[in-house]
Structure 1
């Protein structure tokens, strides 16, 4: 079964999105795709629902003599899509499911999940339709995909609800042995990141996207304990081991202070901050807080990245309660290096690709963001010159 999420192939706003964005993948069109069976829609904003792209998919199916794709959309958007010419449109509230069969008759279950964003295409129709993410669970494969759509950081209550959706899908995977867990591939949006004061109500930061895997692992452990009691095989660290994050909303645009590949720069800075002790972090925090607290297109306050370090360490204490601070910090760094991916536009990934890097290795699924410094040392952009990203076996002072 071929599935598309929020397909957009066209230039949306040339004056807002610079040519840098269009230089990658701009020639990718509907005709380059195989026949599409299902299209998942997260919300109706124009950068996720583009009329020309959707009509191109209709024309493609008709020209090839294929059935039109089936659309799974938020409640409130069904009339819009039928008006474009789609004939099989189903609308969903949160936590509703549908199971469809692939061409090989293999069942795939789709479940709509919570998101925290806004809908509307014209300014006067805000919140007239729902916003959501989706989980995708092939019954006979050991994986569950979570497509978060576009969202602010979801609350703990909604994270718990998402975990319940995923846990119920896991329970139906009879092909897994007792205590075996499925691979969880989290497709997370990152940004726009700046300024957080303005973006926080509607868009999670790159740090939120990274932290999400840790929050979800803890929530899945809580759900499994409520259902089965304390089971070591379903502990939070086991769920986290089976999780990988694939970034969306990155290397797609330059908007305000967000540079091309801004999420990669933030990821790199997060790794740098993770090797600092509390005194060093406080110094960097004070420096960031000196930047304007008001709305501005010209500054990048990074205090939210430092907040992410503190949160990751708090979550790690719940996931690995028996470990000391230094060991937990090393495990955070190891996970971030091996399990966080930043694919290029048009880059094809398999589920195996998302899990092929072992702890202690660095994922190579990311843009080339290296530079050579004055000492001819190759470093990642976004990292402080005095800071070298820590090796997981290094000795770290975490006072």
Structure 2
């Protein structure tokens, strides 16, 4: 949904309950199936079970979490409480309102699912590049790539499928449920990895990417709700090298909410815009000179985020696949104590320069 066509009042009302959900909407978005019941009952206290259920249904209906998770109509609370057998719905007031709550409720699996879809979104550019550069006969010589491309195309069609007018955008959980009707999580992850392996990405300044980037910008209205969830729900963290990209990501809601975004909305992040993105973001002939192309800037940041995520300069806290690998390192104080023992056991020198020089010689010998 493109917010530039909304009035200030419409933008304020988006992503919020503007009226009590109808009985049909309560059944559709807040009804707990067996899996939902099982998840809710893992919470020990009544108010946590009720609060989790209300948030679970909220994100399904609105496509986003609320800043105040309890800012919902009373009929929602009553409906959830009835399903859980809770006699006093007012106990929800005890539900923790810390900002960490909504992140924790996602769970590791949900975070990984969201990032798998994000990886699919960004990796599709590689497939697009290969299609431009190769004809069908050439692709047939790569059966592994052909299989991966077929799976990604099937899933991509589902991700881009529009919702009927008036319905909330699909949540990650709904999207993944639809995806798994055609491709399993494991097969999708393997397909994305195969495309990345067989088709390394072009450089950030490669203007050969302009065609793909422009086509992706045209899809902004379709994928915008997922972009919003990506910027507001995933518990991101960053190493020093990924700090600027993460800051740009966190500033995206300001750009998205602006009626007419301009250079003042991206101040401090202009240096991130390079290559063909500069033309797409800063030189759209349909916009005023001081204006920026909102969809182009959003996807420019997402492309940088994807690259940083693959390097783990940016990571997802609590994720299974996308976590910070540095947290597995031994603490500095323990390393000082155990260093000699570990190095002796591994047969490594205390000075890493010596070991790296040996590895460099090994590479030189292999390629000469």
Q: Same fold (TM over 0.5)?
A: no
Higher relative contact order (CA 8 A, sep 6+): 2
| TM-score bracket for the superposition, by shorter chain length | under 0.3
Q: Which has the higher strand share?
A: 1
State TM-score, norm by structure 1.
Answer: 0.22
State TM-score, norm by structure 2.
Answer: 0.23
Query: Which entry has the higher C-alpha Rg, 1 or 2?
Result: 2
